[in-house]
């Protein structure tokens, strides 16, 4: 069975890369022209969203290096411990809605310090996958299309992140403790 899966995974991408253009040609689509148009549109979008991406990276850098991250996480440590969440993952809970790259870096640090099979490592990895970069998404996607009124979006998205964190912690406690 493992040999079949290995063979399938080895050939899946090359087969798709051949089948997609072939299907387009059979449908009468100029595949190369469609690809070039898509690449041009992607470049235009990248140029349009670049200021928003730079702004969120700058804001997070200021947040972390100013000591604000530590000031936010220290008072919350007893609360998360009472919920059965190791306080070591708390910085990731705060950072994850702001920056995927930063939270991934924190995850890597936690995995290196505690190991991937520890409760901290498993919980942090599950939380990384169960939540999203809320403010990054809002600034990037809403900013790129010009939506400025975010009255209900931010609270709803943060409640979704909180639910993702809590469920990840709960599932890890049930599965691994």
pTM metric for this prediction:
0.65
Rg of the Cα atoms in the chain = 21
pLDDT interval class at 146 (50, 70, 90): confident
- 68 vs 55, which has greater pLDDT? 68
Q: Which stretches of 66-85 are DSSP H helices?
A: 68-82
- Other beta carbons within 10 Å of 171: 14
> Per residue in 149-168, pLDDT tens?
888 888 999 999 999 999 99
């Amino acid at each position: 069975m493992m040999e079949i899966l290995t063979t399938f995974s080895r050939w899946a991408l090359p087969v798709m890369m051949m089948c997609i253009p072939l299907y387009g040609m059979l449908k009468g689509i100029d595949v190369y022209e469609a690809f070039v148009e898509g690449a041009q549109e992607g470049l235009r979008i990248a140029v349009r969203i670049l200021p928003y991406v730079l702004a969120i990276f700058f804001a997070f850098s200021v947040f972390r290096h100013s000591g604000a991250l530590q000031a936010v996480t220290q008072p919350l440590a007893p609360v998360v411990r009472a919920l059965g969440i190791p306080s070591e993952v708390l910085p990731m809970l705060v950072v994850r809605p702001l920056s995927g790259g930063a939270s991934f870096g924190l995850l890597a640090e936690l995995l290196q310090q505690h190991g991937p099979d520890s409760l901290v490592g498993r919980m942090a990895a599950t939380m990384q996958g169960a939540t999203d970069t809320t403010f990054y998404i809002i600034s990037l996607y809403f900013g790129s299309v010009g939506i400025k009124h975010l009255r209900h979006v931010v609270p709803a998205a943060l409640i979704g992140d909180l639910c993702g964190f809590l469920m990840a912690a709960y599932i890890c406690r049930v599965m691994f403790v």
